[in-house]
Structure 1
Amino acid sequence: MGLFDFIRNEFIEVIDWVDNSTDTVIWKFPDNGNNIKYGAQLTVRESQVAVFMNEGQIADIYPPGRYELTTQNMPIMTTLRSWKYGFESPFKADVYFVSTKQFTNLKWGTQNPIIVRDPEFKQVRVRAFGVFSLRVANAGTFLKEFAGTTPVVRISDVEGQLRTAIVSTFSDTVAEANVSVLDLARNYQELGEKLRPMLQNDFTAYGLELTRFYIENTSLPPEVESFLDKTTQMNMVDDMARFQQFQAGVAIEKAAESDGPAGTAVLMGGLGSFMNSTNAGNLPPQPGQIPDKAQILALIKELGELKAAGILTEEEFAAKKAELLSRL
């Protein structure tokens, strides 16, 4: 190699970044101590931003495109270096590429229960878990917050700090949204969208955009979960008489599948409950309380099978059969 080749190889003529990874968010161009040639070619691909730094200070920022590095398209660098018109000498600068693609399926969660102010329960301890997605919105701000002297920054390096920010403000944002923990447990997607703009303030400080925020699971204290279960059951059962009939029907079905005296006892108790629920005492049956004909015939058939198996006596079968037929 001649002296001319040695001097030429000291200058950087092409600057670009081909990202073969899926998790790199900041990558410093390796200059190996060499200067950048005046007029060097800079290529910034889609979902990338190139940031030039002059002695630790952010200078020019380039969106996707192809650039020839001259004083005409390096206005901030030219000002910082006080370059005069016609400057054509090699120069020194740190070049960082920042990925602006969307990073998805990032995890967040509360390691310990947090106290949430609730409009119905006043204060409740809640644990919550979910996922979020983000992208770099301001490359300069993001670079100042996370790059430092590190040549490569992975999304996992950023995720931990952002997770802390989410958890620290989660209880406050839920309180500001005036959302009950009952709704928190029922409408994860809607609440995630409602909380996302509130959490965005913390992400803006890092130059990031919170594109998605999901609540996947919440864990409430046992007493609150018990109340929620009771509320759900009451919403499902509008008519307690119908609910009692349903319970009696379930008991009868189980008895038909059982063997021995225990099955007989359950069956008799279930039939008694069924009769009482459809016609309490000696009162005539009310509209809507008369048992279905097919249901009664099915019960008689099941009684016959129990008699054939020797579980019911002839007298027990005849008595129950007569009682059921009287309901037709």
Structure 2
Amino acid sequence: MARIIDVVEAPDMAGNEIMRRLPETGPGDFRLGSQVIVRESQTAVFFRDGKALDILYPGRHTLSTANLPMISGMIGWVTGGRNPFPAEVVFLNMRQFVDQKWGTSQPITFRDSELGMARLRARGTYAFQIAEPTMVVNSVVGQQGAYGTDQVSDYLRSMIVQRFVDIMGEQKISILDMAGFYNELSAGARASLQDDFAAIGFRLTAFFVEAITPTEETERAIDERASMGAIGNMDAYMKFKAARAIGDAAVNPGGGGTGEGMGMGAGMGMGMGMAGMMAQAFQQQQPAAPAPAPAAAAPAAPTTAAEVQAVIDNLDMRFSMGEISEDNYNRLMQKWQQRLKELGG
């Protein structure tokens, strides 16, 4: 004969445990007079044949026709007045589930007002709690005996990332200014996600953006942009890139020629359109490149005063940024200043 359940409770629910069903192996035998003890941080749902008969809030509940008329009426209808009767109780953890992690699994490409295109990663934390116990059981948990945050985290993370990407796209903020808008992005994402969480019985109680970080190629573009902070127009930027390409060839004479210097200048992730503009600016600075030479041949050296001055300016900048040593700087500066004098510069 099945054991009658006189008292049912879940006193030891873990912090990440959303739900526990008792008995865990399926419906147990209850009777009028059986007790359900619900802790302060819990809500319980009384089920019979997969239907929620009533919601039990914190306290000690005795199954009787006096204090639980809804349950008593349903019991009489579904059991034909039999006592005991099979049923189960689902306990739900009503505490906030804090410090839940979210983040992009792959870099996301955004249009950037300063860099053109940027590839970014984002991550942060959020907190949620149960708002509608019956909805959570029916739409999320199902017939499982226990259910924790780790089982729903992947679904919530995907939902969050989708909404957050939409918010970032609408804001049209450059990555250079993004750090000053974390609060606005967090508030916008939280508001946008409320309906999504409510649709499955949860409430989003907190949402934080911890970091929005660029990929390596976007980071190089940011460094390049920072080095040109004093230049306010694209024409000056193109001339700077051309001068740096010449300087690369001069400082690294074994690097494979002027064409490679141009490649280094263009390889900053700025796009094919910018590469064409840079090539045009470079051609205005020096004669057309000669036919390809053997790998051991030395690159073409600057031949005009303007080109030599561009090399000197490039050396100054690279020394200030710590890209070349003081010994190399002094040696090369002496060489190119002498060359500039010879050209009458």
Under TM normalisation by the shorter chain, which class is it? 0.5 to 0.7
- 3-state SS of 2:190 partner: helix
Q: Distance in 2 between matches of 1:113 and 1:250?
A: 29
Q: How far does residue 162 in structure 1 lie from its aligned partner after superposition?
A: 0.7
Kept after mapping to 2: 8 A contact 1:60/1:75: no
Question: Match for 1:28: what amino acid?
Answer: R
Letter in 2 for 1:26: M
1:149 match: 143
1:111 equivalent to 2:105? Answer yes
Q: How many residue pairs are counted as aligned between the two chains?
A: 247
Amino acid at match of 1:47: S
| Letter paired with 2:46 | F
1:21 has 2:7 as partner: no
CA shift at 1:22, angstroms? 2.4
C-alpha separation between the residues in 2 aligned to 1:157 and 1:82?
37
CA contact (8 A) 1:117 1:171 kept: no
Q: How big is the shift at 1:21?
A: 2.4
Distance 1:145 1:120, change over 3 A: farther
Distance 2:216 2:320 in 1: 31
Q: Which residue of 2 aligns with 1:48?
A: 42
1:253-292 superposed matches below 5 A: 262=327
Q: Deviations over 1:62-108 (max 9, x none)?
A: 12122222234434434544549xx6833222210000111122111
> Would you say the 8 A contact 1:177–1:195 is kept in 2?
no
* Aligned 1:3-152 pairs, distance under 5 A: 10-30=3-23, 33-81=27-75, 83=77, 89-116=83-110, 124-152=118-146
| Gap change, CA 1:174 and 1:249, over 3 Å in 2 | closer
Q: 1:230 to 1:65 in 2, by over 3 A?
A: farther
Q: Is the 8 A contact 2:46 2:89 kept in 1?
A: yes
Change (3 A) 1:178 1:88: farther
Aligned counterparts of 2:197 and 2:329: Cα–Cα separation in 1: 66
- Structure 1 stretches lacking a partner, 5+ long: 1-5, 237-246, 256-261, 270-328
- SS of residue in 2 equivalent to 1:157: helix
How far does the alpha carbon of each residue in 1:236-268 deviate from its partner, in whole angstroms, 9 at most, with x for none? 9xxxxxxxxxx99999xx98xxxxxx49959x9
CA gap of 1:136–1:118, structure 2 versus 1, over 3 A, is farther
Alignment correspondent of 2:196: 202
1:82/1:223 Cα in 2 relative to 1: closer, same or farther (>3 Å)?
Answer: same
CA contact (8 A) 2:115 2:222 kept: no
What TM-score, normalized by structure 2, do the two folds share?
0.58
Give the Cα separation in 2 of the matches to 1:118 and 1:72: 67
Pairwise CA distance, 1:152: 0.8
What is the RMSD of the two structures over their aligned residues, measured on CA atoms?
A: 4.0
Q: CA deviation at 1:17?
A: 1.0
Q: Which runs of 5+ in 2 are unaligned?
A: 231-317, 335-345
C-alpha displacement of 1:116: 4.2
Give the aligned residue type for 1:158.
V
The residue identity in structure 1 corresponding to 2:141 is A
Deviations 1:164-191 (A, max 9, x none): 1112222123334565544433433442
Q: Given the superposition, is the C-alpha separation of residues 49 and 228 from structure 1 closer, same or farther in structure 2, using an over 3 Å criterion?
A: same
Q: SS state of the match for residue 131, structure 1?
A: strand
Task: Using the TM superposition, give the Cα deviation of residue 209 of structure 1 relative to its aligned residue in structure 2, in angstroms.
Answer: 1.4
Letter in 2 for 1:56: G
Against the structure 1 CA distance between its residues 31 and 199, is the aligned structure 2 distance closer, same or farther, given a 3 Å change threshold?
closer
Deviation, 1:220, is 2.8
Partner Cα separation in structure 2 for residue 249 and residue 176 of structure 1 = 38
Tell me which residue corresponds to 1:172.
Answer: 166
Please report how far the alpha carbon of residue 118 of structure 1 lies from its aligned counterpart in structure 2 after TM superposition: 6.0
TM-score scaled by length of structure 1: 0.61
Other structure's SS at 1:144 match: helix
C-alpha distance in 1 between matches for 2:141 and 2:320: 68
